[in-house]
């Protein structure tokens, strides 16, 4: 049975390594990523809503994966990767320092750390709001993220990343050695972590390790009643558009290309309007 693997890339959980291996070894029409939206722009690769052939996709991967994408894909299989929450936050803080320097954006470490309250938990909830029952305030953030993960077939962990990556790549028809990427962040930056800001992340990580540690990304791909129930719901196109457009705008702005992208989109829109005008006139002549 044909499947599409759709993976949520939680930052600093070995996802860039998977992205690079997939990009280097899968044909363009079989792989879509939005971990680096700016990379798609520079490579002139289509964004998700511009893809013409969803059935050919084997792997969808990124920071901006959203549950509404599942309605477009053939037999979607959900997976993600997790990391010890303290280690992950320290790595993310170190990466942010380097990233903001490359982007030419000032970075206040303490202010950024103060905003990082259970980031893994909310990363999942905000991308899978219906599956997480996000609006149900009777549930803790941990319980909402836990609920969303019930639709997932696999969660890999950074300390066993190679085994999970090899299994997934083999299922995708890719034979290559696992390469670890994105290890260049500075290690000389002191990061003071407030554990009280990570209590739900820690609980979620511990639960996921007990729930998914023995799973294989390609073994548990049978019927998932919770996921099936979601797929039976109506597609919410405007919700997906709003999420993706805001993700794209944020990244374009961070890299200083928003004005250029806007100009390009306006040029395309005007060309399409001229094309539609010609078609309309032809129909009117009948």
As a whole number of angstroms, the distance between CA 194 and CA 52 comes to: 46
As a whole number of angstroms, the distance between CA 13 and CA 100 comes to: 20
Identify the residue with better confidence: 180 or 17. 17
Structure tokens belonging to residue 255: 């890299």
Q: Looking at the domain that runs over 4-255, which CATH code has it been given?
A: 3.40.50
Residues 92-122: tens digit of each pLDDT: 998 888 888 888 888 888 898 999 999 999 9
Confidence of residue 129 (pLDDT cuts 50, 70, 90): very high
62 membership: H or E segment, kind and range? strand 59-62
State residue 129 phi and psi, 5-degree precision. Answer: -65, -40
As a whole number of angstroms, the distance between CA 254 and CA 45 comes to: 19
Q: Is the pLDDT of residue 188 over 80?
A: no
As a whole number of angstroms, the distance between CA 168 and CA 59 comes to: 10
Q: Is the pLDDT of residue 50 over 90?
A: yes
Q: Is the pLDDT of residue 222 over 80?
A: no
Which pLDDT does position 128 carry in this prediction? 98
As a whole number of angstroms, the distance between CA 84 and CA 104 comes to: 30
Relative to beta strand 154-157, strand 59-62 is unpaired
Identify the residue with better confidence: 161 or 151. 151
As a whole number of angstroms, the distance between CA 251 and CA 257 comes to: 9
Neighbour tally for 244: CB within 10 Å: 20
Task: Give exposure, 222-239, as e/b (b: 16+ Cβ within 10 Å).
Answer: eebeebeebeeeeebeee
What's the number of CA atoms in the CB half-sphere (13 Å) around residue 164? Answer: 27
As a whole number of angstroms, the distance between CA 175 and CA 166 comes to: 8
Torsional class of 30: left (φ above 0), alpha (ψ -120 to 50), beta (otherwise)? alpha
The predicted model gives 162-169 an average pLDDT of: 84
Domain ranges of the chain: 4-255, 261-286
* Contact by Cβ (8 Å): 67, 230: yes
Q: What is the DSSP letter of 182?
A: -
As a whole number of angstroms, the distance between CA 157 and CA 2 comes to: 26
Among 13-22, 50-59, 85-94, 164-173, the range scoring the smallest mean pLDDT is 164-173
Four-residue CA torsion sign, 169, 70, 224, 205: positive
pLDDT, mean over the chain: 91
* Contact by Cβ (8 Å): 85, 201: yes
Smallest CA-to-CA distance from 67 within 11, 128, 109, 117 is with 128
As a whole number of angstroms, the distance between CA 158 and CA 20 comes to: 16
Residues 232-263: tens digit of each pLDDT: 999 999 999 999 999 999 999 999 999 999 99
Neighbour tally for 99: CB within 10 Å: 14
Quick one: how far is CA 285 from the chain centroid?
48
Instruction: Compute, in degrees rounded to 10, the torsion defined by CA atoms 42, 45, 46, 51.
Output: -170
Which pLDDT does position 186 carry in this prediction? 55
Task: Give the rounded percent of residues in the chain with a pLDDT score beyond 70.
Answer: 92
Which pLDDT does position 205 carry in this prediction? 97
Which pLDDT does position 88 carry in this prediction? 94
């Amino acid at each position: 049975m044909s499947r599409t693997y759709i993976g949520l890339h939680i930052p600093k959980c070995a996802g860039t390594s998977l992205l690079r291996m997939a990009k280097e070894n899968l044909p363009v029409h079989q792989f879509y990523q939005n971990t680096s939206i700016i990379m798609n722009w520079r490579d002139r690769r289509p964004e998700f809503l511009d893809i013409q052939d969803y059935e050919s996709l084997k792997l969808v991967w990124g920071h901006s994966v959203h549950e509404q994408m599942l309605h477009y894909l053939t037999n979607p299989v959900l997976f993600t990767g997790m990391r010890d929450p303290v280690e992950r936050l320290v790595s993310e803080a170190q990466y942010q320092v380097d990233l903001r320097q490359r982007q030419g954006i000032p970075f206040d470490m303490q202010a950024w750390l103060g905003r990082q309250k259970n980031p893994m938990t909310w990363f999942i909830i905000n991308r899978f709001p219906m599956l997480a029952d996000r609006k149900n305030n009777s549930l803790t953030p941990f319980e909402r993220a836990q609920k969303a993960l019930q639709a997932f077939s696999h969660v890999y962990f950074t300390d066993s990343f190679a085994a999970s990556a090899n299994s997934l790549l083999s299922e995708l028809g890719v034979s290559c050695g696992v390469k670890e990427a994105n290890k260049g962040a500075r290690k000389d930056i002191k990061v003071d972590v407030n554990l009280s800001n990570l209590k739900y992340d820690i609980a979620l990580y511990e639960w996921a390790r007990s729930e998914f540690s023995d799973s294989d990304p390609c073994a548990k791909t049978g019927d998932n009643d919770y996921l099936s129930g979601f797929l039976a719901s109506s597609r919410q196109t405007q919700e997906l558009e709003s999420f993706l457009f805001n993700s794209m705008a944020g990244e374009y702005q961070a890299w200083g290309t928003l004005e250029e992208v806007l100009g390009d989109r306006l040029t395309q829109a005007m060309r399409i309007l001229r094309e539609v005008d010609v078609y309309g006139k032809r129909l009117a002549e009948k």
